[in-house]
Amino acid sequence: MKTKRSMKLRTCEECESEINKGDQYGQRSKRVGGIEIKRGFSVMVPFYIKVDICAACAAEGIQQ
Ligand SMILES: [Zn+2]
């Protein structure tokens, strides 16, 4: 995974460690389920959001 330099303080979505300003971090998309009501029926609507992960977790992602 390509990492980039963080311009602000972030939290890793995987291990919840802090990604400090100036640290390398990666981003990956995470599937989030949402429920939408359509014609009286509730349907699962998956959508993706971008989450921040630390360099260590980004490196692990490459091995998988
Ligand atoms: Zn992490």
Q: How far is the CA of 42 from the centre of ligand 1 (A)?
A: 34
pTM of whole model > 0.75? no
CA distance 13 to 10: 9
- Which pLDDT score is estimated for 17? 97
- Which pLDDT score is estimated for 34? 86
Q: How far is the CA of 17 from the centre of ligand 1 (A)?
A: 6
pLDDT digits (tens, 9 = 90+) for 21-64: 999 999 999 999 889 999 999 998 988 999 999 999 999 865 55
DSSP structural state of residue 20: -
Q: How far is the CA of 48 from the centre of ligand 1 (A)?
A: 19
CA distance 36 to 17: 33
